[in-house]
Amino acid sequence: MKFIYSMAILSTLLLLNSCVDTPSETKVVKEKVTDTEIKRVTFEDKAKIDKIELIITKGHLPEMKKFASKDMLKGFDAVMNEFDPQYNKQYKRNVISISGNFILDAPIYEIQTEFVEKIIQTKKLSQYSYNPMGALTSSVLMLGTIEAWCLIEWMSNALPGEQKNIYLKDCKEFYFGNKKNRTETYEREKAVTDTGETEKIEKKIEKGKVKISVNNDIIAVYHIKKFNDFIYLSDFINDLPGTHRLQSTRSVRLKIEVEVVHNNIKKMRYTYILLPKDVIDYEMEMKSLYPNH
């Protein structure tokens, strides 16, 4: 009796082991190209600098305190206004604003794209291929009744009318596994061709190195200058020719040189502006009256 009980437990464990879920294998069984498309694309990252547009704007700020206002009025202003009770004058800040653009030659490429349909098959292994001992054990324990029932259901399909299959689907999966197919579509680049054509692209310059000089003498350097930020004439007014004691002021031609970088390539551009004598005189007087500003 004890032996029979032990065999029953062992048989049950073997039967449970035979019913574990089997692993699946997934693979692409077929691919076909359903469509192709050719697009013209401009590659900005491969663009070369054609030229640099540099724009220098002369203006003034209506407030005395440096950095107090970002609303620049166009044109230098050297007119004394009655405002300050101590000096009877109002200090307007004369400034220069720099802006610019890269004019780029960007190559145009043709990209051929394929639309590919692939059939993906997921195959679930049968119990007999994955766990033959467990499957055989369960068949022996059930005295072949599972196989017999499934065989009867399979043969009944030959009879006229719709037959009800209870275990046939599970039997097929148990002995033969099953296969399921699904379809997916994806894109892939087939070819990239340089057309030899280019497109002009305008790109705003954000920052650069700025040098200001007079008669080849550098009077101010801004190593990392954000464009559209102001350059104050008061920063270098004392270094201009004619601004020292016993000298007469005169109009000065400023050279403004900008060094910018695009795709790790440095380019330089410069231009000139005229700094009128009356503006220099104004800045010199305001500098003496407001030395801390």
Q: Render pLDDT for 31-83 as a digit per residue (tens, 0 to 9).
A: 888 888 899 999 988 898 899 999 999 988 876 655 545 678 888 888 766 55
Residue 120 has pLDDT above 70, yes or no: yes
Hey, how many other C-beta atoms are within 10 angstroms of the C-beta on 219?
19
Name the pLDDT band for 7 (thresholds 50, 70, 90).
very low
Residue 87 has pLDDT above 50, yes or no: no
User: pLDDT of 181-203, one tens digit each?
Assistant: 888 888 888 888 999 999 999 99
Residue 242 has pLDDT above 50, yes or no: yes
**Stronger pLDDT, 230 or 155, i.e. the higher one:** 230
**pTM assigned to the model:** 0.59
SS3 for the chain is: CHHHHHHHHHHHHHHHHHCCCCCEEEEEEEEEEEEEEEEEEECHHHCEEEEEEEEEEEEEECCCCCCCCCCCEECCCCCCCCCCCCCCCCCCEEEEEEEEEEEEEEEEEEEEEEEEEEEEEEEECCHHHHCHHHHHHHHHHCCCHHHHHHHHHHHHCCCCCCCCCCCHHHHHHHHHCEEEEEEEEEEEEEEEEEEEEEEEEEEECCEEEEEEEECCEEEEEEEEEECCCEEEHHHCHHHCCCCCCCCCCCCEEEEEEEEEEECCEEEEEEEEEEECHHHHHHHHHHHHHCCCC
Residue 246 has pLDDT above 70, yes or no: no
Q: Once rounded to an integer, what is the mean pLDDT over residues 234-263?
A: 83
Name the pLDDT band for 151 (thresholds 50, 70, 90).
low
- Residue 182: the pLDDT is 87
Name the pLDDT band for 3 (thresholds 50, 70, 90).
very low
User: pLDDT of 165-177, one tens digit each?
Assistant: 555 555 666 666 6
Residue 259 has pLDDT above 90, yes or no: yes
Residue 108 has pLDDT above 60, yes or no: yes
- Residue 169: the pLDDT is 59
Q: Once rounded to an integer, what is the mean pLDDT over residues 213-239?
A: 88
Distance of CA 46 to the CA centre of its chain: 16
- Give the alpha-carbon dihedral of 236, 237, 240, 241, to 10 degrees: -160
Q: Once rounded to an integer, what is the mean pLDDT over residues 28-33?
A: 85
**Stronger pLDDT, 132 or 218, i.e. the higher one:** 218
